[in-house]
Structure 1
Amino acid sequence: MQVLVAAVVDRGRAFARFLFGRRARLRWIHLILGGALAMPYVLVGEVVVGPLADSRYVFGSLPLQLASFAVGLPLAAVTALFPLTRPLSVAAVRALCGVEGDRLADGPARTPAARRRTAGWFTLHLGLGGIVAGMSLAVPPFAAVLIALPAVSFLRDSRLGLPEVLDHSWALALSPVAGAASLIALAACAAGAGGLLARRAPVLLGPAPEDRLAAAERRAADLAVRNRLARELHDSVGHALSAVTLQASAARRVLDTDPGFVREALAAIEDTTRRTVGELDAVLGVLREGDTGQDTGVQGRAIAPAPTLADLDGLLRRTRAGGLTVTAEVEVDPGTLPPLVSRETYRIVQEALSNALRHAGPRAPVLLRITRGEKTLEITAENPVTGAPAPRPGGGHGLSGVADRARLLGGTTEAGPVDGVWRLLVRLPVEGAA
């Protein structure tokens, strides 16, 4: 018995939430908004219906009001073909109908099919909203009169256009029940109409294939920018931190025995950090709108240009200051390379030297060779294989970043042990890379 009572109470609470819960109230407001939007079209319909029905007072006749409403709805459908109707409708649905945002389209309707669906939604919203709004204006006063009728003699004497059946005592006794039932019926109609609109909104206001394609392109563009930023931060800042760490460690070990080396290491650390700050501004410029190089940077500081292969000597000098022995064979004039290829080549070499610093050790010899063929630029970096490197938390993205850079330029990447040395070989196309 207790279980039955609990089930009945739960169903009663669920029904009450369906009629008067927060979502039901918001949807009711959405319907009232539709009724308010329908009023100008109804007034235009009255201008048409009044002369046809030879009536000067359309408001005094319910059939004429319904006819005016029927004439006004097609006019609403025509005006809903304007592109801005959909974003306004979507904003109202998201705020009041409880429909998830990703199920609705963003922006104006661009295709004829999307405009037709928007017109169908607008007409449905105004049609149901006009009916519920009219009921919301008429039913509560009528229900209040029915509820108060047995207790207020003035209402019984004035009649107020009430039906004659209320003259009977049994009908008078049941009038409060009828009044309360009419209010519940109004709430049920509003909840049902609001639920219908919420179900139809994703169908009529949902994204079309063109909208999904545009959203996918925007997400792909955002992801490309984020990946580019991650690569730049990893290669520039990661290399600088690795070099500074090794330089500081080497200086600490010979602090008392070789002051000259310590001074050289500290100068290299200063140079590395100063240049990295400039590179960091250039990297963060990727996030700034336009990325046109015209941004003035943070607090008016000009953004340093991204390093190119022409800056390779400085990179090698700073790397060697950390103890790494680098033999460089550069058989290409940086000025003859397309700017994009030159920038990406610098980053690839920077990552190759960072990997050698981290995995081969500061005293390991590194052979760097950059040669240019007829159509390709070939970058080779070799260092001794010293065993499996210790895993680094959050690391392991360097080679994938190099591969991404090469792939975006149409090049290829090979990396792995060959005859006792670790070899990184990157080929980049030169012609057409600009």
Structure 2
Amino acid sequence: MSEFSGFSAGGFSRLSGFGRFLFGRRARRRWIHLILGGALAMPYVFVGQLVVGPATDSRYVFNDLPLQLLSFAVGLPLAALTAALFPLTRSLEAGAARSLCGVEAGLLAYGPARTRAAKGRAAAWFTLHLGFGGVISGMSLAVPPFAGFLTALPLIVWAGGAEAVELPAFLDRPWVLACAPVAGVATLLALAGCAAVAGELLARWAPALLGPTPEDRLAAAEARAADLAVRNRLARELHDSVGHALSAVTLQASAARRVLDSDPEFVREALAAIEDTTRRTVGELDAVLGVLRDGDSPGTAPAPTLAADLTGLLRRTRAAGLRVTASLDADPGALPPVLSREAYRIVQEGLSNVLKHAGERTGVALRIRVADEHLEISVENPLTAALADASACRPGGGHGLRGIADRARLLGGTAQAGAAEGTWRLKVRLPMKGPA
């Protein structure tokens, strides 16, 4: 009994799978895809009739099935030529294959065909789509009425009598009439099977004929690399601007709270610095978010530069309690714009690193100079226990130091950070003329 139950369950599962293959949702969508191919084939069939009619000296090509098939065969090469001449054919057919054939999106190309090989494969696919679609469309128009006639034939004969229906000789037999409904259902199943097989073949051939070429993959890789570079740049901008602002505001508020009653003048200066820092940071944040919203839009606020914003950065940092000694042996206005912008972020992150780990009332020596066609930036401060712990816990630096190294590398320069002889040193060397 258990063996019979297992056999029944297995047979039902196979029957259910066969039913889904013929009439499931995917099969129906692929059938629609084939019908669309047949509709696209009609103009080419009409052109083929204009060629076949005069060539065969026939005035009624439409009523002659062999001539219709010949017209269809003549029209398919014209369809291939059309697909080869119009690169967008691949994009349209790939979209239809993704939506109706159930082909995974990653296996098909998105853009138009550019190379000769890609155009040839797209033309082959278009021809197959129209060829299979034309055959299945013709069968879909002719087979259901014929199958319906066979299924209803015994009822028609019984209701009207054998004399009322003129049947061919091979149908005018009792056993043939009894088998007619079975033949009608089998004909419909055969139509569904042909459509399912044709759809399955097209789905399997789609990646090879509509898939991306090596050039497409290279272009996609370059686009992903460019997108990743933009994301990394935005991450660095957010980290440097917002991170520095939060560190400075935290220390300024902490210092103001401690001397709230004893030094009101310092509290006013600290609150003014907090207001200035947050206002500038909101502007920078809006500029970065503008890039996220509008692609390459520069945003509503310009990026800060060493030439225009170094003085304000030093003022706000000193207001947080950090004792900064700055030595400037270079003309910031003479620096290239990209170098001036990146140098500002490097100085900002260097000071922010001291604020976060060394704390207020720490002496910092900032030096900026030009030597040997290079811009040199150094930040030095006494090595505290917090800095030593941070260095030990994060070998190679945290996100800020990693961001400084990334900026220096993109500009063709070098960055070094570490402790030596009781002093924490950050040294950055950037070429005056280097990669943009």
Say whether the fold is shared (TM-score over 0.5). Answer: yes
Q: 253, 264, 270: which is aligned to 2:275? A: 270
**1:319-358 equivalences in 2 (<5 Å):** 319-358=317-356
CA contact (8 A) 2:291 2:297 kept: no
Cα distance change, pair 248–157 in 1 and its aligned pair in 2 (3 A): farther
Give 5+ residue unaligned stretches, structure 2. Answer: none
Question: Which secondary structure does the structure 2 equivalent of 1:110 belong to?
Answer: coil
Counterpart CA distance in 1 for 2:360 and 2:320 is 7
Q: What residue identity is the alignment partner of 2:190?
A: A
Find out whether 1:83 has 2:87 as its counterpart: yes
Q: What residue identity is the alignment partner of 1:412?
A: T
**1:90-105 equivalences in 2 (<5 Å):** 90-105=94-109
TM-score, normalised via structure 2 length: 0.93
Cα distance change, pair 205–273 in 1 and its aligned pair in 2 (3 A): same
Counterpart CA distance in 2 for 1:159 and 1:344 is 93
CA contact (8 A) 1:308 1:339 kept: no
Find out whether 1:389 has 2:390 as its counterpart: yes
Provide the identity percentage: 69
Counterpart CA distance in 1 for 2:215 and 2:398 is 38
Counterpart CA distance in 1 for 2:164 and 2:353 is 96
Question: Which secondary structure does the structure 1 equivalent of 2:389 belong to?
Answer: coil
Residue matched to 2:214: 209
Counterpart CA distance in 1 for 2:36 and 2:297 is 45
Question: Which secondary structure does the structure 1 equivalent of 2:305 belong to?
Answer: coil
CA contact (8 A) 1:225 1:286 kept: no
Map Cα deviations across residues 333-376 of structure 1 (whole Å, 9 max, x no partner): 11121111111111000000111111112222211111110211
**1:373-384 equivalences in 2 (<5 Å):** 373-384=371-382
Find out whether 1:235 has 2:237 as its counterpart: no
Map Cα deviations across residues 253-295 of structure 1 (whole Å, 9 max, x no partner): 22222222211111110111111122223333434657465x6
Cα distance change, pair 426–174 in 1 and its aligned pair in 2 (3 A): same
Higher mean displacement: 347-356 or 50-59: 50-59
Q: 411, 417, 420: which is aligned to 1:418? A: 420
Counterpart CA distance in 1 for 2:161 and 2:248 is 93
Residue matched to 1:310: 308
Residue matched to 1:36: 39
Residue matched to 1:141: 145
Task: Report the CA distance between 1:163 and its aligned residue.
Answer: 4.5
Counterpart CA distance in 1 for 2:143 and 2:303 is 72
Counterpart CA distance in 2 for 1:159 and 1:413 is 97
Map Cα deviations across residues 53-74 of structure 1 (whole Å, 9 max, x no partner): 2222223222111111111111
Cα distance change, pair 413–157 in 1 and its aligned pair in 2 (3 A): farther
CA contact (8 A) 2:305 2:337 kept: no
TM-score, normalised via structure 1 length: 0.93
Higher mean displacement: 222-231 or 424-433: 424-433
Residue matched to 1:122: 126
Higher relative helix content: 2
Cα distance change, pair 400–165 in 1 and its aligned pair in 2 (3 A): same
CA contact (8 A) 1:341 1:433 kept: no
Cα distance change, pair 143–329 in 1 and its aligned pair in 2 (3 A): same
Question: Which secondary structure does the structure 2 equivalent of 1:323 belong to?
Answer: coil
Residue matched to 1:226: 231
Cα distance change, pair 292–18 in 1 and its aligned pair in 2 (3 A): closer
**1:39-188 equivalences in 2 (<5 Å):** 39-81=42-84, 82-153=86-157, 154=160, 163-188=168-193
Task: Report the CA distance between 1:252 and its aligned residue.
Answer: 1.3
- Cα RMSD (Å) of the superposition? 1.9
Counterpart CA distance in 2 for 1:96 and 1:131 is 18
Residue matched to 1:4: 7
Cα distance change, pair 397–389 in 1 and its aligned pair in 2 (3 A): same
Counterpart CA distance in 2 for 1:291 and 1:129 is 44
